[in-house]
């Protein structure tokens, strides 16, 4: 069955440290989509990235980078030189054929950046 | 563009009461969906719609009804509220008729059932 696992329930680091959030997914489909969303303390959900299964290129956007590895079914998210404003809950999600292309969400990782 | 709007922001109900959570989008998106978010869990899909007049059940549909009479609106109805329905509810939309595109989320409705 399709599944998204974010094993890190909560991570706490000091500002300016680098931090990696793990996401492991399960799917039997060859075509699927992976997402990361951010939920800051204010509660809204903010889209960060979308990746399809045929594009294994790593992505960098400012201090954010994503490492997609099909061999290990992982789509990890790294924040470089973290800032207090990065404090949020981060969700990884999967959309595939067997889920009728609906989103399957991980439980989220709460990231706390201490000043 | 207002994006995705949800009303109300907060609501307290008594067990057995009914109510409708409103969701509207002005981006002409085909796909709309409702999720609930409970502490320590990811979002769970309640119902979704791939276009006006078409709705389908998600992972946790029991106790909820939806309809999609227009492209813009996708209300969620609680028929007889139960304490287990205490949650934060999010509405989302995306351009294509499936959740493979970026989902745009509303601000959420925090519902408490006493």
The single residue listed with the structure tokens 């290129």 is A57
Whether residue B96 has pLDDT greater than 80 = no
Compute CA distances A29 → A60, B74, B103, whole Å: 26, 30, 21
Whether residue B96 lies within 8 A of chain A, CB to CB, comes out as no
Interface mutation vs chain A, best among B37, B100, B104, most A CBs within 10 Å: B100
Q: How confident is the model at residue B41 (pLDDT cuts 50, 70, 90)?
A: confident
pLDDT at A23 over 90: yes
Length of chain A: 115
pLDDT tens string A44-65? 999 999 999 998 888 888 999 9
In A, which residues are within 8 Å of B99 by CB distance?
Answer: 95, 101-103
Across the interface, whether the CB atoms of A102 and B33 are under 8 A apart is answered yes
Asked if pLDDT for residue A100 goes beyond 80, the answer is no
B97 pLDDT band, cuts 50/70/90, is low
Q: Checking phi first, is residue A42 left (phi over 0); if not, alpha (psi -120 to 50) or beta? A: alpha
The answer to whether the CB atoms of B43 and A103 lie below 8 A apart is yes
């Amino acid at each position: 069955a399709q599944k998204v696992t974010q094993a890190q329930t909560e991570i706490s680091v000091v500002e300016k440290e680098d931090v990696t959030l793990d996401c492991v997914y399960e799917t039997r489909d060859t075509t699927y989509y992976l997402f990361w969303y951010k939920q800051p303390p204010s509660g809204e959900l903010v889209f960060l990235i979308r990746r399809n299964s045929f594009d294994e290129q790593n992505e960098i956007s400012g201090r954010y980078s994503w490492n997609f590895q099909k061999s290990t079914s992982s789509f990890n998210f790294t924040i470089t030189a973290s800032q207090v404003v990065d404090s949020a809950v981060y969700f990884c999600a999967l959309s595939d054929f067997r889920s009728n292309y609906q989103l399957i969400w991980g439980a989220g990782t709460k990231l706390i950046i201490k000043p | 563009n207002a994006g995705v709007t949800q009303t109300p922001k907060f609501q307290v109900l008594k067990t057995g009461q009914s109510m409708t959570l409103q969701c509207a989008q002005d981006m002409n998106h085909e796909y709309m969906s409702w999720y609930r978010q409970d502490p320590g869990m990811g979002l769970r899909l309640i119902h979704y719609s791939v276009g006006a007049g078409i709705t389908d059940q998600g992972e946790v549909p029991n106790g909820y009804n939806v309809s999609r009479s227009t492209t813009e609106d996708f209300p969620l109805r609680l028929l007889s509220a139960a304490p287990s329905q205490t949650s934060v509810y999010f509405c989302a939309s995306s351009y294509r008729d499936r959740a493979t595109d970026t989902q745009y989320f509303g601000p959420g409705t925090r519902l408490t059932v006493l």
